[in-house]
Structure formats: C-alpha cells, structure tokens
Amino acid sequence: MPCLLRICTPLALLAFTASIASAQMAYKPASPRTLLRAGQVLDVHTGKETADETVIIEGDHIAGIAPTASTPTKPGDREIDLSGYTVLPGLIDVHTHLTMATNFDPYFELTMTPGKEAILGVENAKTTLEAGFTSVRNVGANGFTDVALRDEINAGHIPGPHMQVSGPPLGITGGHMDENLLPEQYHVVGEGVADGIPAVQHMVRQNIKYGADLIKIGASGGVLSKGDDPQASQYTLEEMQAIVADAHRLGRKVAAHAHGAQAILWASEAGVDSIEHGSYLDDAGIAMMLKHGTYLVPTAYLIDWVQQYGNLPALYQQKMKDVSAVEKQNAIKAIKAGVKVACGTDAAVYPHGLNAHELDVYVNQFGMTPLAAIQTATVNAADLMGWTAHIGSLETGKWADVIAVQGDPLHDIKVLQRVPFVMKSGVIYKDEAQPAAIDKLVATAPTHEPPISENSF
C-alpha cells in the first residue's frame, strides 16, 4: 500500500497542477495590442492604397488590418499616430555584407580580423534596420561573424534586421573568394576555398554545421579582388551541381556571385537560386534563368556610388569600369525578358543605410514601375529567402515588420530613402514623430527565424 501511495500521490499532484494550468490558460488575458493608425496602407501585391486603416499588432505578429473607424482603442492598447504617413512592410535586401566596411584599401582588408568584423556588424545592423530594411541576407563573412551577429540579434541583445547568413563564401584557389594580396611565403588561403567535388561538398556541409542559412559561391571572378577576371568562370558546372545538390538536400538555398556569361549560364543550369550581379548576362543566360526560375540580384546602385565616391585602388579600377559599362543594360534586358528580380545592394561596397537607393535605380534607370521596384524588396525578396509566410507584406499572421514614410512611394520611389518609422517583430526601433514610442531592446525579444531557413562585388 505505501508503494501504491507513492505512485498515486505524484499522479494526483500532476493532475491537479494540469487543471490549474488549464484554468490559467482559459483566463489568460489577450496580449496587449499596438494600433498603428495609418494615413494609408500599401498592399504591395496589388498596389492598392487604403486610407485611414489601422494595423493591429499583438506581440510580434500582425493580428489584422481594419478601418480605423471600426477599430476602437481598448484598455491596455498602445496607439501610434501614423496618420500623416504611408505604411508598408519592412523592406528586404538579399545581398548585404553587414560585417564589412566601405574601405577599398588592400591593407585594410589584410588587417581585418573576426573581432573587427563583429564590431562593424553591430554598427551596420542597426544602421540597416533604421533605414527601413527589416530583413536581409548576409552573403559572405569571415569567421562566421555573421552567424554570431544573427544569433545576438535574435536573442534581443542588439538591434538589427532578421538575417539569413552564409558564413564564408565558397570559391576556387586563386579566385574571387580567395585571399590573393599576399605572396606565397605567407600561405594565406580564403576560408571558403574548396576545389573539386568532394571538397566543395565538405565545405557546404561545414558551413551548415557552423550555422549557415544559405550557401554563397563564387561562380566567376570579381571586381574588388586581385588577379582574377570577372568574365572568367571559376567553379565548373559539375562542382556547382554538387554544391546545389547538397545545399538543397539540406534545406539551404544557393546564391552565386556571377559576372561572366559562362558562369551565369552554368550556375543557373546547376540550379542556384539567385545570380548576384549578372554583369555580362547574355541571351543564353537569360533563357536558362527563365527556365529554372532563377532570381537576378542586380546590385546596381553601387555602380553609381563608386563612380562618384569610390576612389578605387588602381588594381580594381579597370575591372570596375568594364563591368559598369555593361551591367545595367544587361539587367534591363533581363527584366524585359521576364527574369525575376530581388532587391540586393552589396551594401559595404557603398555605405550601409543607403540601401533604398537601389530601388531608385530600378525605377529611374531600369524602367520599372514604382510598385514593381517595391515588390523586388518585399514579396520577391521574401520568396527568394523562402520566408513568404513571415515577411514581404502586411498580412494577418506575418511578423510585425512595418515601416512608414512621408509621401507616396508609388509616386516618388525616393521617399523610401528616408524612413521615419521602423517596427520589427512588434518592437519600435525608430519613430521620429514620436520619439518616446521607441521600445527598449531587451534580452527577452522574440526569436522566431526559421531554423533553416569576403569578398563582395
């Protein structure tokens, strides 16, 4: 009998505790609401702008959107007056380098350390978020500093956008992703260098082991690197097929740095998810991208910025001049052919925080409508990241990533270059109209990124 009592007593206690928990859940009050009283809300799918609507936020998600007149304030609600603003989803940049700085001095690159990259990342993440970009892909960082940055943002320790990160980009020996500035006696090799199918498979798996959400590869040479040719393909078709097969099987997408026509063709045939830059894109490459549904990430504004402010070292100047002469026209050709475009900027090649200038290029140089340009940084970018269920539009159930701008971006795309209000996951990080409304960042900030999901230009 004593033995039986020892069994029954814990069971009875468990049942009693469960009944209490059930009762507490039944009477748990609703989460406090934040009501964003918008002048107009932009539906990025259709371009419809609806006046006098309220975006209802509960916790870190959007609970609904309703006419302000039929959404009265309840006890405990917080109201944010955005009646003079256009409200739209937080913007997305699918090609950033948050742990890097705009400094083209080769000596600066040689003296970079993971510690410096981490510190730069903290600063640049805040700048990017406050520019209205609430989600980014970080496509290339040394020492997995972007993994650490993502994790610290998710933990609520520092402000920054939702991040998908690649860690060290994969590349061939002597290629764009290698370290070519020092002579042989130093035996310095880029972290992501891997040659041959077994080696690239190992590198994909290693990057995933250490926290990568996607895989970044160098399919061609680059501009801001020594001794390589942007038009020359680097990885072979077979190597890229092996990379894509492993990455996709393990739930990661692949972004291919590719300037040259052959590299674009092979990378698209291999099944990469996006072509970054695409400078020498030709008809064959366009056809292959259309066949596979491959995204183009143009990184176009950097050309304008570098031409005006870049002051590149001599070893990069001619390559930048050659690429700049063709990239935009080929991007226009691809867009007219129907290739999908996602907004990516290569931020770090120009200063972080100027990301929205990319959309101005799409409208005023590429000929996109303002809505189409906005879609590259919302619904298209969300699709490329595999996060359509969470970001890219203001819809019930999605993360409460919201920005507000003065004026109408469908009439003037440049209004997105100055964003006075930024909310990410229900937390207000910037509100120039009501500075007191800015929330304090706390260590208990919600974490809800999906488990899966440095050389640059």
216 catalytic? Reply is: yes
The CB-based long-range contact list for 253-256 (8 Å cut-off, 24+ gap) reads: 253/214, 253/215, 253/384, 253/385, 253/386, 253/453, 254/214, 254/215, 254/216, 254/217, 255/94, 255/95, 255/137, 255/139, 255/166, 255/214, 255/215, 255/216, 255/217, 255/297, 256/216, 256/217, 256/218, 256/219
Where does residue 324 rank: exposed (0-12), middle (13-18), buried (19+ CB within 10 A)? Answer: middle
Helix (H, G, I), strand (E, B) or coil at 223: coil
346, 360, 401, 431: the catalytic one is 346
User: Could you tell me the two tokens for 302?
Assistant: 């950097």
Q: How far apart are the first and last CA of the chain?
A: 77
- CB-facing half-sphere around the CA of 46: CA atoms within 13 A: 6
216, 253, 424, 430: the catalytic one is 216
| 421-424/402-405 β-pairing | antiparallel
Cα–Cα dist 291/273, whole Å: 12
| 253-258/274-277 β-pairing | parallel
Q: Tokens 């990239």: give the residue.
A: 327
Whose CA is closest to 346, among 400, 310, 294, 390?
310
Cα–Cα dist 43/331, whole Å: 26
> What is the DSSP-derived secondary structure letter of residue 13?
H
Cα–Cα dist 285/271, whole Å: 13
Q: Are 396 and 57 in contact (CB under 8 A)?
A: no
346 catalytic? Reply is: yes
User: Could you tell me the two tokens for 43?
Assistant: 């539906």
Residues with active-site annotation: 216, 346
